[in-house]
Structure 1
Amino acid sequence: MKKSLSQMNNKELGQYLSENRNDEDKFSQALELLITRKKENFKYPPPSEIDREEIEEIFQAKLNQKQ
């Protein structure tokens, strides 16, 4: 039984896109889902828009989470 698009991880979606690159409907549905996932994971603006102290705080918080 095949997984639905929403059940696929990003790697599987990439493979699906490659396999269905000539099917406009399947390709656009998978690409839209993949793009949506990337937007959901966005947490911080680019470093060029953050001052140095804020970047250091972000890194320190991430390091503390790993400990």
Structure 2
Amino acid sequence: MNNTELRQYLSENRNDEEKFSQALELLMSRKTESFKYPLPSEIEIEEIEAIFQAKLNQKQ
């Protein structure tokens, strides 16, 4: 079951605590650590702008 199917399963079984718990645990175990950016006060404004621009370009 891929993540989309698992989310659908969660939606369909939201009232069944046992099934929901197991499916949510599985979904959360698949989550990978995402990159964490440093605090804005620790980097230059140009670098912050570049990060935002890169994210905006990904959405297009």
What TM-score do the two structures reach when normalised by structure 1?
0.53
Show CA shifts across 1:10-53 (max 9, x none): 00000000000000000000000111111xx21532x125x76x
Does structure 1 residue 27 correspond to structure 2 residue 20? Answer: yes
Gaps of 5+ in 1: 1-7, 57-67
Q: Structure 1 residue runs of 4+, over 3 Å off?
A: none
What TM-score do the two structures reach when normalised by structure 2?
0.59
TM-align CA RMSD: 2.3
Aligned residues: 45
Amino acid at match of 2:29: T
Gaps of 5+ in 2: 48-60
